[in-house]
Every structure is written in C-alpha cells, then in structure tokens.
Amino acid sequence: MKKSRKGRVAAKPVRVHDEPPKAELPPRPSSAGGLKQQTAGFSNVSDAIDGPKLENELDFAIWYEKYEEELEEAADDEFRVFQTRLQSHLYTCDSLLSEARETVVLLDDLAKGFEAVREQTSSFQASCEELLSEQTRLSKLANGLRTNLEPFSALEPITRRLNAPGSGFVTRPDFKEMLSTLDDSLEYVAAHPTFKDAEFYQSRYRQLMTRALTLIKVHFIAQLRDVSADVTKRIAAKAINETTQSALLYAKFRVGGNQLRELADEIEKRCGHEEYFSLLSECYNFYFGVRQRLLYPIVTKTMRDMSSSKDLVGFARVSISYIRSICLDEYELFFNYFSSGEHQLYDYLETISEPLYDHLRPRIMHESQLVKLCELCSLLQSRYMRDADDVEVETYDRSQLDFGRLVQSPLQDAQARIIFRAQNVIRDDIENFNPKPEDLDYPERNKVIQAPLKSPQSGKPIDPVSPLEGENPSQFDTDAVFHGWYPSLRKSIWLLSRIYRLVNSSVFDDLAHQVVHVCIGSLAKAADQIRKRKSETDAQLFLLKHLLILKEQIVAFDIEYVRPEVEFDFSSVTGTFWEIRETGSLFNPNNLMKLMQRGLPKVVENMLDAKVELDAKLRTVINQFTESWASRISGPVIESPGRGPEALEATLSLRRMAESEVPILRQKLNEYLTDGRTRETLVGAVQEMVIQSYESFYDRADKLSPELEDLWDVDTFVVFTNRAFGTEDAGDIGSPRESNVSSRRGSVGSDQLSDSMPAFDNAEDRPEHITNILNGLDRYNPETTSIFQDYVSQQCEYGTYDCYANLALLKLYQFNPHLARDETITNILVKSLTVFPSTDFSLCCHLLPPNLLIPTPASSSGDLSEAVQKLTTLNTQLESCQFKDFWNTLDSDDLYADLIADVSGFEDTIRKRIAGVTASSMRSISREQLEGWLNLSDDKFETFVKDEAGFSIEGDSVVIPLNKDNEAKPTITRETVKFDQFSRVIKRAYEAPA
C-alpha cells in the first residue's frame, strides 16, 4: 500500500523547464473557503464509511484498508500543494537568475561598444581642434600680412588724393579718415624701422601729413580772412551802434567757428611734432591778428573817452570792467575756434589790455593819496584776483577766465606805489612828526577825550570823528579810546590797517616792524617832551598807555617775518692791528699774515623784531614806573639806618606817604588807563615793592631798642598797605602774604602786560560766519559771545583749533566779565596746549585776570584759579621738554582728567607734538627714553612710532628720518673786502689813539 501511494505521487506530471507551472492544485486551506472544501472532503469520507455494508470480516478489512488509504491521501494533500508551490517558486528564481546573467552579458557588450565610441569621438575631436588651430593660425597670418601691407599699400591712394584735393576737400568726412590712416601708417613704420624701405615710407607719409595739415591751415586762414573782410567792410561802411557792432564782432565770427574748431583740433592732436605745432601757431597768430585789428582801435578810443575821469579808483573801476567784458567775450570766442592755447590767448588779451595799462599806470605813479592807492589795490584783489588757497584745492576750470593774470601788472604797480607812499608816511608823519602843543597836553587831553560826546540837539551820544581827516568812519575802528591816541600812534595803526593784506606778507611784515620801531621812538620823544612840560609820572603813564595800545593793536596784523640787517664788524681788524703794533713788529711779514687771517671783518646779522622791542620797552616803562612810585612812598625807610628814634619816625613818615601818595597814584592811573585790571596790577606792583622795602628796613632795624618797641612787624604792615593801597577787598589781587609766593606783583604785572603775541590768524577750518565776525566790528559785540563759545565746543569735539577766535572770545570776557564761563576758558587753555611749542598758551593767559595767574593756597578745589595754575604747570613742563614729568603730572590728579575731558584726542595730539619736536632736533634716541616721553610701551609704542611718527626701530634705538630741521648743513659766508677799503681801516686804526 505504501508503494502504491509513492507511485501515485511520483506519477505527478512534471512541467517543462521553459514553461511556467500550472495552477492545477487547490489553494491551501488557509481561508474560510478552503476550510469549507476540506470539510466537504471529510463529509465524503463519512459517506464512504456509512455507505457500504459489511457482511463479514473480510469486507471490513478491505473497507478498512481502503478507508485508511483515503485518510492518508487526504492528510497529504496540503503538503503536496505546498511542495508544488515551492517547486514553482524555485523555477521562477532559476529563470530570473538566468535572465540576469544574460542581461549582464548584454550590458558588458554595450559598455565595450560605448568605450569604442568614446575613443573614436576623442580622436575625432582632437583632429577637429588641430584643424581649427591651423585655421586660426592661417587666418592670423593672413590678417597679419594684410595689416602689414596696409601701411604700404595706402601710400599711392593718399598721394593721388592730396595731389588733386579739390574744393572743400578738408570738410569732407573721408578727409578725417585719411588723416587717421596716415597716423596709423606713421606709427607702424616708426615701430618697425627694420622693414625694407621703412625710412622711405616714413618720409613720404610725413610729407603727406604735412600737406594735409597745411590744407587745413590754408582753409582755416581763408575762412577767417573772408569773415574779417566782411566785418571790416560793414564797420567801415557807416556808423553803427554798439549792438550792431557787437553782432558783427562776435555773432558773425561764431557762425562757422565750430566747423573750423574741428579742423583745428586735427592739428592740435598732432602737435607733438614741431612742424605741426608751427602750423597751429600760424592759425593762432592769424586769428589773433584778425581780432586785434578789429578790436584794438575800438578799445583805444573807448579808453581815451574814459580817461576824462579824474578819480583814480572810479576810472579804474569803469575801465577795468570794460576791459574785462571784452576779455570775457574774446575768451569765449577763442574756445569756439580752438580747444587749447591758453598761454597764447592770455598773451593776446594782454595786448588788447595795453590801452588800459597805458592810461592806468601813469595815474598810479602820480597818485599821492595813500587811501586811493589802497582802494585801488583792494578793488583789484577782491574782485579780480583768485584766492591762492582755492587755486591749490580746486581743479583749474578752463571755462572761466582768470582775469587776475591780466590785472597783475596794475596791481604790482599799485603795491609798489603803496610801499613808496607808506615809507613817506613813516618818515614824515611818524618818525619826523612834530607835535603841536595840544598833542602833548596830557593828562588834560585824556579828560576831554574820556568825556562822552553828546549831540547838542538830542543829547544822545554821537559817532566819534575819524582819526584822519577825510577818512570814512566806517572804514576804521571808531572805538572811543581811539581818540586818545597820540597822532603818530594813530597814524601808525591807520597805516598798518590800510596796507594789511594789500601787499606781500613778507613786505608787510618788514614795513610793520619798521612802523612799530619808528612809532616806539616817536612815543619816546613825546614822553621826553611831556616829562619836561609836566612830570615824570605823566611821561611814564603816557608812554605806558600808548605802548599797551600799540601792543594790543598789532596783534591783529599777524606779523611773522623778521628781516635780517647785515652789518660788518671791524672790531677784530682794529684789535689785531693794535696788538701787532704794540709788539713793535707791524711790518713783519708773519705778523701781516696774522693780520690778514685774524683781522678779516665779520658779517653780523641783526634781527629787527619790533614785537620783542615793544615788549622790552613796555617792561622797562612798567618797572621804571613802579620803582619810581615805590621809591617815592618808601623813601623814608630806605634812607633810615634802622636805629634810634629816627627809625620809628621813618615808619610813621612811610605810613603818611602811603596814605597821601596812593590816592594821587590812583588818580594818575585813572587819568591815563581805562582798564581796571591794568590799574590794579600796577598798584599791586607798587605795593609789593613798598613791602619789600619795609621788609629790608625791618630786617636791619634794631628791634631790641626801647625806641622801637612800637615798630610794626611785616604782617601788620601788609594789613596796613592793603587798606592804604585799596587792595584790602580786591578779589583780583589778594595780599602778598596771602599769596605766599616768591614772585612780586611788579614782575607779574610786567610779564602779564608784555607777553609777546605770535602769529595765529590761520585757521583752515574756520566757518564763514566766524570769519565775518572776526573781520568786522561784531568781534566786540557782547551778543557774539555765545557764538564764540559754541565754536570753542566745536573745536574740542572735532579736533580743530582757531587761536584767533579764541583770543577774541577772551577779549570779550575782559570787556564783559559777567559773560565769562570757566569751562570755556579752561577748554581754550587746554586747546592751546595742543599746539606747543607755539606760545598760544601764554597769549591766552595774557587776556585772563591777573588773580588767576597768581597761585593762592586759599583757592578751593576745582575753581578756575586752580585749573589755570595746573594747566600752567603742564605748559611749563612742555615748554622745557620735561615730557615724562608732564605725563606723571597729568596722571597725578583727577582734576587734570576733568580739564582735558572735553578736548577730543588730547593725549594723541600731545604725543604727535612731542614726536615733532623730537624729529626737529634729533637723528636718533633711545627707545626707553622715547617711551617715557610718549607714555607708551610695547605694541602701542611701536605702532605709534612707525605709523604716526614715521620713525624706525633698530634694537634699543629709534632712528628718525632726515629732515630739514635735524639735518646739519655747513654754511660758509664769504665776503669780499677791497684792498683800498682795508688800507683805510688800517690807517684809521693807526691814527686813532692820541
């Protein structure tokens, strides 16, 4: 039975390899339908069991065997189905693997085919590139041959065209193309001089270019000749009005100007060749000749008609305006014909302006009024001359006529005449001034002048008269104090104010020094005459007052240049001669050689600095005044021996003299000086000298003597002098004992009043409204104080500096103390420190109240006096090059930080100034020392030294580049003395002693 089942199973049909299995078996009874079918199968078995009838055991065995076989077959059906399905899946996988292998083989064949195609394509591409490269090479070669042949092949066509140019040839468009071809040909031939016949072609092309440009010149001249002939004919035909004349002279010429300009430009482009420039010059000359023949008679006639005016300035204003209008029209018309030639144009315009020069120059040379000459010079400078700063900054605009070049000659004539007349004024009205009795009537003259001028009708103050007869009051300072000036001083300041900025700065400085020097001499002469007429005090106060006025006034003129005066010093000649003569061997050849070597005269240069002379004279007058009054008051104690009753009587006399003389002193000061601070300074100086005299007397007095028991000590005497001199409650002065300083009032006052003023009126960043205030009378207007204060704040914030404006503000504070602001004053002083080694700090201190300059221990911390003293300490350290101490002082007190807080970049600016001072005096410096001077170290020091200062560091030294200040150059002065002069010196020296 088992064998029959296996046989039946093996007898199942097997599918062919190439065919998919057929789904002949029922599905696995995993679903509800399958279970139903399986149940139906079991029902059939049940039916088979119940169906046949068993009659005996044999039937039962047969039935049971059959039944058992059916049960086994029913149990194996599920496994058979699963086996069949597995065999189907196995067949499918085998088929997929076979097909994948076939696909891989096919893809390999395709890859080999693609690689073959790629190799063939690359080979084809390389071949194409080679062909293209060859084609490009051949194209370039062909183009190069064509290009190299063009300069040679163009010769014949151009030659034929220029041999028969025809009418209007130069105006055709192809004419410019021909010129361009000639340029290219000439350039090519010049670049390849080794080519065959290169010189021949170059000469031929140069000839053709010359012929072509000559045709332009001929056409240009012909057109101008036709226009000129037509205009000349119409002007000469009948009398025409000015409008018609202008139309003929300019409108007619402008018609064809643009076309001729294009042709002239062709010549200008090629002016690098000398021959072509001559062609352009011929065009210039012909054009200028045509215009000059038309205009010169008209300008000459007009100038002749205008010359009837007798006023120099009026004639100059009208005539120059007329010439300027002509020059403007000619300037515009010229550039309608040409694109260059400014130099030739200005030469032509100078020729057209010759009639103006011919009429104006004689008037200038014969003008004797300095005012008229100054007005003429101011007119020329303000209206026609360009500012030098604008010319340097801005690019020159050719479209604008620089008329200043044309009036330069009259301006120079006017300036020369001004200098001549100024020297006459200096000689006649200042140096040789002969005063009238009323001019020396001091102090009565001060009393009359100080009285307010009233209008007889309204009683209101009237404008004071001008200091000079015929002078316009609006043209000069009309301050009331002006009318108390001595005439020579008034004339000196008037002269300087007139010629200021009208002549060359060095010439003005030379004249200013001369004026100040002569004026000081004139004032000294007047003081001597007043001394004879009045008293020593009147003479001293007269001189002091006028010297102070002179010092204050010359500040505004910015005097810098000092002219050296060269003299010969023959002292060595005479000294050597007498030395040899005393030895008795005058004619010894060796001694004669010694005389020649040691006896040559020396060249001595004396620098006439009027400001220094003025300060010295002012200091001398102040000292003489204070000493005379101090001696006058303290005379009894000076003469007293300090012993016995006479000593006590001397002190009593001193007190009586102080009580009686001080009111006289103050009265005299009030008569001459209007500034209260100046008066108090002088009174304080006298008081200090009186105290010094009493101290000397007290030191030598016999204080143990019974007669001197009531002798005052110095402190008690100081209290008395404070009351007697009126300084007891004076906040500006303070008592000497309270000040506790070694310097005396007299020296402080004289230094304060005689500080020199350097040049400062040069601020590039000054706003225009500040300039207008400084140049006008508003600089003394108290309402401008706030404007100046805001300007100081701007300087601190943006790093600019304007000393002139700052001094003007301090002057306003002097006149209006209630408007002064401590913060602004300290900011001005701090800003002045940033420009050391300039003396601006001293200038600013000169305008401060004297009490701020004297250190007082009673001053509270943070007040203005303490701030000024601390800043003065910093200035002293900077001026004495104590730079390391400067930084130590700056870091020693928080007040310094508060003072410099408002000034942006203060420390960096100081470092740059220190570096500048170092560079001007040294070639090298040790690194350690410079680090201390700059208060920098390490990387910050190296960055500053290299980037800001421009120095270099070599080991432990800092090397400073060579500049004009630290470069040592030998100077050899050679003077030639003729032998006859030398012999006269020897003869004079020989005969001198009796």
Query: 914 in a domain, yes or no?
Result: no
- Indicate whether 619 and 491 sit together in one domain: no
Q: Is 308 helix (H, G, I), strand (E, B) or coil?
A: coil
Band of the pLDDT at 975, cuts 50, 70, 90?
A: low
Separation between Cα atoms, residue 263 and residue 568, nearest integer Å: 67
Residues 89 and 77: their CA atoms lie apart, in Å, by 19
Any idea what the Cα angle at residue 280 is, between residues 274 and 282, rounded to 5°?
A: 105
Residue 909 above 50 pLDDT?
yes
Does some domain include residue 9? yes
Q: Is the pLDDT of residue 315 over 50?
A: yes
What is the C-alpha separation between 763 and 746, in angstroms, rounded?
A: 36
Percent of the chain having pLDDT more than 90? Answer: 14
pLDDT in tens, 416-454: 999 999 999 999 999 898 988 888 888 777 766 555 444
pLDDT at 6 exceeding the cut of 50: no
Q: Which among 127, 153, 179 is the end of a domain?
A: 153
Q: Which residue in this structure is represented by tokens 């000493």?
A: 627
**Would you state the pLDDT for residue 124?**
93
- Identify the band that residue 480 occupies on the pLDDT scale cut at 50, 70 and 90: very low
Quick one: pLDDT at residue 289? 93
Determine the 3-state secondary structure of 764 from DSSP: coil
Mean pLDDT of all residues in the chain?
Answer: 77
Lowest mean pLDDT segment, chosen from 34-48, 141-155, 791-805? 34-48
Does residue 218 carry a pLDDT above 70?
yes
Give the integer Cα–Cα distance in Å for 80 and 11.
Answer: 13
- Residue 179's nearest CA partner among 153, 201, 199, 205 is 205
Residues 191 and 287 both lie in one domain: yes
50 and 110 assigned to the same domain:
yes
Output the pLDDT for position 483.
65
- Is residue 825 very low, low, confident or very high in pLDDT (cuts 50, 70, 90)? very high
- Average pLDDT estimate for 734-748: 36
| pLDDT-based confidence at residue 50 (cuts at 50, 70, 90) | low
Which tokens hold the place of 225? 């000749």
Does 116 or 731 have the greater pLDDT score? 116
Last residue of a domain, one of 366, 382, 398: 366
Lowest mean pLDDT among 398-402, 444-448, 601-605, 886-890: 601-605
Distance between CA 777 and CA 785 in Å, rounded? 13
Does residue 470 sit in the same domain as residue 580? no
**345-359, 373-387, 586-600, 744-758 — most confident range:** 345-359
- How buried is 912 (Cβ within 10 angstroms: 0-12 exposed, 13-18 middle, 19+ buried)? middle
Task: Tell me how crowded residue 346 is: count the other CB atoms within 10 A of its CB.
Answer: 16
pLDDT at residue number 36: 44
| More confident: 290 or 28 | 290
d(CA 718, CA 691): 7
Judge if 655 and 733 occupy the same domain. Answer: yes
Q: Which residues contact 129 (CB under 8 A, 6 or more apart)?
A: none
- pLDDT at position 462 is 39
CB 510 within 8 A of CB 385: no
User: What local confidence, expressed as pLDDT, does residue 581 receive?
Assistant: 56
- pLDDT at 402 (0 to 100): 86
pLDDT at residue 963, rounded to an integer: 77
Residue 775 and residue 481: Cα distance in Å, rounded? Answer: 19
Q: Which of 333, 350, 366 is the last residue of a domain?
A: 366
Q: What is the count of structural domains for the chain?
A: 5
Query: What single DSSP character describes residue 461?
Result: B
Q: What is the pLDDT of residue 709?
A: 66
Stretch 826-851: mean pLDDT, rounded? 84
Q: Are strands 957-959 and 952-954 parallel, antiparallel or unpaired?
A: antiparallel
* Spatial distance between the Cα atoms of 237 and 231, rounded to a whole number of angstroms: 10
What string of DSSP letters covers 619-667?
Answer: HHHHHHHHHHHHHHHSHHHHH--S-HHHHHHHHHHHHHHHHHHHHHHHH
Closest residue by Cα to residue 352 from 494, 441, 477, 249: 249
pLDDT value of residue 749: 36
631 shares its domain with 746? yes
Q: Is 681 exposed, middle or buried (0-12, 13-18, 19+ CB in 10 A)?
A: buried
Please name which of 246, 356, 235 lies closest in space to residue 299, comparing C-alpha atoms.
356
pLDDT for 964: 72
Whether residue 443 is preceded by a cis peptide bond, meaning omega within 30 degrees of 0, is yes
Give the distance from CA 8 to its chain's centroid. Answer: 123
In a domain, 242, yes or no: yes
Section 923-942 average pLDDT: 87
Mean pLDDT of the 957-986 span: 62
Cβ proximity of 410 and 357 under 8 Å: yes
Distance (Å, whole) CA 613 – CA 547: 11
- Tell me which of 466-480, 595-609, 662-676 is least confident: 466-480
> Does 359 lie in the same domain as 253?
yes
| Contact between residue 871 and residue 833 where contact means Cβ atoms under 8 Å apart | yes
Nearest to 553, CA basis, from 512, 501, 585, 606: 512
- Which runs of E-coded beta strand occur in 693-819? none
CA gap 628, 743 in Å, rounded: 19
Domain that holds residue 500: 434-542+559-563
For the record, the structure tokens of 829 come out as: 């002083």
**pLDDT of amino acid 574:** 56
Q: What integer pLDDT is reported at residue 828 of this predicted model?
A: 92
Mean pLDDT throughout 174-194? 83
Cα 509 from Cα 507, distance rounded (Å): 5
Angle, vertex CA 475, rays to CA 553 and CA 357, nearest 5: 110
245-249, 608-612, 687-691, 880-884: range with lowest mean pLDDT: 608-612
User: Binning pLDDT at 50, 70 and 90, where does residue 458 land?
Assistant: very low
> What DSSP assignment string belongs to 678-720?
HHHHHHHHHHHHHHHHHHHHHHHS-TTSGGGTT---HHHHHHH
**DSSP element (H, E) containing 565:** strand 564-569
Q: Are residues 128 and 31 in the same domain?
A: yes
The number of C-alpha atoms within 13 Å of 994 and in the hemisphere containing its C-beta is 0
CB-count exposure of residue 169 (10 Å: 0-12, 13-18, 19+): middle
pLDDT at 777: 64
Q: What distances in angstroms separate CA 504 from CA 416, 498, 507, 772, one per listed residue?
A: 10, 13, 5, 22
In a domain, 772, yes or no: no
Domain contains 951 = no
What would the two tokens of residue 765 be? 């960043």
Which one is predicted more confidently, 583 or 39? 583
Q: Which of these ranges, 357-361, 399-403, 875-879, has the smallest mean pLDDT? A: 399-403
For the record, the structure tokens of 235 come out as: 């002007």
Q: How far apart are CA 25 and CA 5, in angstroms?
A: 18
**What per-residue confidence (pLDDT) applies to 555?**
80
What is the residue type of 369? Q
The reply to whether 241 and 339 lie within a common domain is yes
Q: Is the pLDDT of residue 104 over 90?
A: yes
Band of pLDDT at residue 869, cut at 50, 70 and 90: confident
pLDDT of 606 over the 50 cut: no
Q: What average pLDDT does the segment 7-20 reach?
A: 43
- What's the pLDDT band for 578 if we cut at 50, 70, 90? low
pTM, two decimals, is 0.54
> What was the pLDDT predicted at 590?
59
Same domain, 86 and 173: no
Number of Cβ atoms within 10 Å of the Cβ of 24? 9
Average the pLDDT over 168-194 and give the result. 83
- pLDDT tier at 468, thresholds 50, 70, 90: very low
pLDDT at 739 over 70: no
Is 959 contained in some domain?
A: no
Question: Where is average pLDDT lowest: 94-108, 113-127, 300-314, 953-967?
Answer: 953-967
Asked which of 98-112, 261-275, 403-417, 510-524 is least confident by mean pLDDT, the reply is 261-275
Q: Is 567 helix (H, G, I), strand (E, B) or coil?
A: strand
Q: CB burial class (10 A; 0-12, 13-18, 19+) of residue 69?
A: middle
**Matching residue, tokens 């003869």:** 987
Tell me, yes or no, whether 690 and 589 share the same domain. Answer: no
Give yes or no: residues 96 and 36 share one domain.
yes
Phi, psi (rounded to 5 degrees) for 950? 75, 20
Q: What is the distance, to the nearest Å, from the Cα of residue 226 to the centroid of all Cα atoms in its chain?
A: 54
Judge contact between 902 and 789, C-beta under 8 A: no
Is residue 656 one of the residues assigned to a domain?
yes
pLDDT in tens, 488-501: 998 988 988 888 88
What is the structure's pLDDT at 976? 54
- Strand-pair category, 564-569 with 602-607: antiparallel
* Buried/exposed code over 429-464 (b: 16+ C-beta within 10 A; e: otherwise): bbbebebeeebbbbbebbeeeeeeeeeeeeeeeeeb
Separation of alpha carbons 925 and 928, rounded Å: 9
User: From residue 802, how far is each of 389, 776, 795, 835 by CA, in Å?
Assistant: 18, 17, 8, 11
What is the per-residue DSSP string for 2-65?
Answer: HHHHHHHHHTSPPPPTTSPPP--SPPPTTSHHHHHHHHHHHHHHHHHHHSSPP-SHHHHHHHHH
- Residue 287's nearest CA partner among 310, 262, 264, 317 is 264
> Would you place residue 593 in the very low, low, confident or very high pLDDT band (cuts 50, 70, 90)?
low
Per the domain annotation, does 521 fall within a domain? yes
